[in-house]
A and B are shown apart, each in its own frame.
Chain A
Amino acid sequence: MNKQEYTITVYTENQVGLLNRIAIIFSRRKINIESLNVSPSESESIHRFTIVINETEDVVRKLCRQIEKQVEVLKAYYNTNEEIIWQEMALYKVPTDIIAEKVKVERLLHQHGARAVVIRKDYTIFETTGHREETEGLIKALEPYGLIEFVRSARVAIIKASNGFHEKLKEFEQKEPGEELIENEFLDKQEEVFTM
């Protein structure tokens, strides 16, 4: 099995120490986390981790089960890039005088959909949002014009097929949840499983 980029989405309780509990599942297996974002979700009190790693599906599946096993984790999903809509935001600091002089630079920024966040005498900060190639493309383009600083955020992603978490959460709160909650991933691939 080949390694590829997977985005893991984890719904959790908001609990001190949980970030560490999840992070060590990766570090214990010497797996590097490419990107990690923690944010609220549409359900109040439920937090959402978005983790990007480069691994084989087999490894990612096992990691997700280990994550889901943690007491304060409600659900963990993994998806390929085709199955999600995702964005990353980047900030670029460039010298204002060069920007002002070189019209080419201005055009460049327009082409990359960059927006000026701050304009000062000494420097200007631009922002772009997009996929990795897009934010990285602008670095390359700005480098000849004295790029002073660059920073990129973690990935945020939404699973295309997801209906959100609020309905599921209601089920989780039941003492005797319906069958959909105890999703049995083996059953979903029944044919595959039983013909092995």
Chain B
Amino acid sequence: MKLHLRIWRQDDSQSKGHFGEYDLENVREDMSFLEMLDVLNEQLIDSGQEPVAFDSDCREGVCGMCSLVINGKAHGPLAGTTTCQLYMRHYKDGDVITIEPWRSEAFPVIRDLIVDRTAFDRIMQAGGFVTLHSGPKPEPNSIPIEPEVAEQSLDAATCIGCGACVAACPNGSAMLYTAAKISHLGLLPQGQPERYSRVKQMVEQMDKEGFGSCRNYAECEAQCPKEISINFVSQMNRDYLKATLLEPVDRRSKMNAQ
């Protein structure tokens, strides 16, 4: 098939950027979207032009490296699919495809379609960890956990940190990412000691990075390649309120009777 591609070109975070217009012929249905871009790049290199820079790594839908807003949707038109798992059979001859990077002030463009997502790493560093002892290995089943709770934690843990939630959110909010990370640890017994300090620190870091604030559009949930539920956002709100308003500050002082 023959396609017309409008691709965002930008030399670095400082330059203005513009759309490049490209015609691509002989695109096969069984190519993945990224393979289609590989073909375009070979064509560009052959004709002495600069290839389009885009992120990818595993190309199996699990690493979270690939991105791209395709015709206005993060990771393209299919629900629960990363860009690398999107195949050209979903397009038809003569289609015009607009490809843009994640657009967020917290994710500056490095080049073309590649953005800097280290803001997510800093949110993780702020509290996305649990404290474990480094002594002898404990018996694996020594900590009992409700299977449904374990499953729910795993649902949150499927987040691959790709940033589609931020890209999809009309407000550029990172609530779904932060909520998924907080819940995946906060639901497990191992995550309890830092449960309330974690939510405070990670939310504080999320605000510092310059993400927008959530307006409950649920657009993130719909465009998340792992279909993570906004139930986790509600859970984060609950934990955050509890952490800031209800968790005792002074646990040990004496109290007087009236």
A binds B: no
